[in-house]
Structure 1
Amino acid sequence: MIRIGLTSYKEHDKLTGKPNNTLYEYAGFLPFVELDTAYYGIPRKSSVENWIEEVPHSFRFVVKVYQGISGQGKWQDYYTSEAEMFTRFLEAMEPMIQSGKLYCFLIQFPSTFKCTKENVMYLKRLRAYFGELPIAIELRDFSWYSEKFLKGTRDFMMQQQFSLAIIDEPQLLNTTVPFDSFVTNSAFTLLRLHGRNANGWQSNDADWRKKRTLYRYNEQELYELAETIKRLQGQTKEIGIIFNNNSGGDAAENALALKKILDITYDDLNPAQIDLF
């Protein structure tokens, strides 16, 4: 199955006609979303329960894990040990796991996470902590994809049953990662589409986050992505596509356009509007 969705459910006015959506409203249009809430802090279990209650049975979540897990936050300020951090995270996510609505946990590493023995060992610890749960890994340093390490990266991801996320982002020599449409997990694959704004990607001013994802995929680019997705269907059971080009409000329209190109219909969605009677 191919699932198409967006990063966050709130800010897509091109989807619902509203500047700020509820999850229930979002789930009337698309069956798939990436939640970044848990990245900033481990949520209450009650919040997770509310998320899964607002969506239909077939809806699936990509949950971006807590930043302490991906090395982008100082977990030592909040937890006494690495093990406690993982335990607290998984306890909070238990309702999501038990509901069957978890597509995968996304662990997005920063560009400082390079291909080293130490980091490979950390990835092995991650698998031990998460057990058999579905994990997608996003790497942001080119070293993992270099000629020297690419085969080892792919083989390792397959051995650990990680889905190495397929990333679309600007191609800047040795400073970004390539669009590597190689499947490392036959059960599920995750594509994250950040856009191709090369100038914005390199911005380091106060608005760098907005500039990075300020991009609209054109029709030709969407057709090219669709061809890749069709090819992947024979290699993996589930395909999840997340548009992260949110800054200019382009993600929702690009997602709906790709859905049309792939001739996909989603039947089990929330009612798009509540009838008066």
Structure 2
Amino acid sequence: MIRIGCTSFKEHTYLTGKKETTLYEYAGYFPLVEMDTGFYFIPSRANIETWLKQVPEQFRFIVKVQKVFTKHQELEEGQTLTELAEQLKNNMAPMIESGRLFCLLAQFPATFKCTRENVDYLRILRQLFQDIPLAIEFRDRSWYEEKYLEGTRNFMKNHRFSLVVVDEPKKLSTTVPLDAYVTNEDFTFFRFHGRNDMGWTATGPDAQKVRTNYRYNEEELTELQRAVESAKSKTKEIAVIFNNNAGGDAAENATQFKRRLGLDYEELNPSQLELF
């Protein structure tokens, strides 16, 4: 099955015409969402249970792991990765046990390069989340260099990681390629950030507002469609997340993509369109 969705559920004015969309409303259009709030803090069990009450049974969540797990931030004094992992798994138990977690996402920064130390760290991460589907996203091209690519792919397979298939700017020498190679037969995760070459490396307080400010055109959507369809026969489940929403384009592109693939999801929440 191919599930299509967006990062977050609130900021998709295209769907409802409202400044903020509720999760219940969002789940009337898509069967999948990426919750990036987990990057900043571990969601409480109460929040998890609230999310589950707002979506139908067939709806799935992708949840980012907290940034200490991906080297964006150092552990605070007295913290351990083991304790944080146990807290995350305990809080997420209702989602995991109900089968509505598609996967956890570990998004590593561009400073996380293909080194022996970092490969060893990925082994630790797998041990922390042994029985949970885990997707790995790299932001540094070294993992895809010719001398490392086969090793990267085999390592992902052997450790039951799904290497995220990423689309991001093409004109920068440091960005990763669109590589639709399947490393996990159970699930594959496509994550589309847009191709804003100028904004991708922006820094400062407004960086987030421009990095994913991009609208895919029809030719680019065709390229992405070919990549997704090439993986269909090699994996049981596919998740496609549009993260190009700094300018509000993700939901529209996701809707276009859904139509292109001829997908008509059943068992969604009632949407505004269905009320008239």
| Fold shared by both chains (TM-score > 0.5) | yes
Q: Does 1:33 align with 2:42?
A: no
**Match for 1:12: what amino acid?**
H
SS in 2 for 1:49: helix
Q: Answer yes or no: is the 8 Å Cα contact 2:180–2:230 preserved in 1.
A: no
Q: Which residue does 2:155 correspond to in 1?
A: 156
Unaligned stretches of 5+ residues in structure 2: none
Q: How far off is 1:154 after superposition? A: 0.3
Letter in 2 for 1:200: G
Shift of 1:205: 3.7
Tell me the equivalent position of 1:10: 10
Map of 1:233 onto structure 2: 232
Unmatched 5+ stretches in structure 1: none
The question of whether the paired residues in 2 share the 8 Å contact of 1:190 and 1:241 is answered with: yes
Distance 2:188 2:61 in 1: 13
Structure 1: distance between partners of 2:128 and 2:200: 33
Question: Structure 1 CA distance, aligned partners of 2:183 and 2:64?
Answer: 19
| Cα drift, residue 273 of structure 1 | 4.2
- The percent of aligned pairs where both chains have the same amino acid is 52
2:147 alignment partner, SS class: coil
State the SS of the aligned residue for 1:148. helix
Instruction: Spell out, residue by residue over 1:173-208, the C-alpha distance to the aligned partner (whole angstroms, 9 max, x if none).
Output: 431111111000011000000000101112224311
The answer to whether the aligner puts 1:75 opposite 2:94 as a matched pair is no
SS of 1:189's equivalent in the other structure is strand
* More displaced stretch, 87-96 vs 188-197: 87-96
How far apart are the structure 2 equivalents of 1:119 and 1:67?
Answer: 15
What does residue range 183-198 of structure 1 map to in structure 2 within 5 Å? 183-198=182-197
Moved more, 201-210 or 245-254: 201-210
C-alpha spacing 1:147/1:24, structure 2 compared with 1 (3 Å):
same
Report if aligned partners of 1:188, 1:239 keep a CA contact under 8 Å in 2.
Answer: yes
Could you tell me how far 1:87 is from its partner in structure 2?
Answer: 1.2
What is aligned with 1:63?
Answer: 63
Segment drifting more, 250-259 vs 80-89: 80-89
- Where 1:256 maps in the other structure, the secondary structure is helix
What residue identity is the alignment partner of 1:121?
D
Is contact 2:16–2:272 with CA below 8 Å preserved after alignment? Answer: no
1:52–1:99 contact (8 Å) kept in structure 2: no
CA shift digits 1:91-137 (9 cap, x unpaired):
11111111100000000001111111111111111111111210000
Higher mean C-alpha displacement, 213-222 vs 66-75: 66-75
Q: SS of the residue aligned with 2:69?
A: coil
Deviations 1:200-224 (A, max 9, x none): 1122243111111010000111122
What TM-score do the two structures reach when normalised by structure 1?
0.96
Q: Structure 2: how far apart are the matches of 1:119 and 1:161?
A: 17
Which region of structure 1 is more displaced relative to structure 2, 222-231 or 182-191? 222-231
Query: Do 1:200 and 1:208's aligned partners in 2 also have CA atoms closer than 8 Å?
Result: yes
Deviates more, 1:109-118 or 1:160-169: 109-118
What one-letter code is carried by the residue in structure 2 that aligns with 1:74? E
1:1-277 equivalence runs, <5 A = 1-77=1-77, 79-273=78-272
Cα offset, 1:19, TM superposition: 1.1
Q: Contact 1:75–1:85 at 8 Å: present in 2 too?
A: no
**Aligned-pair distance for 1:275?**
9.3
Partner SS for 2:95: helix
Q: Give the RMSD, CA atoms, in angstroms.
A: 1.5
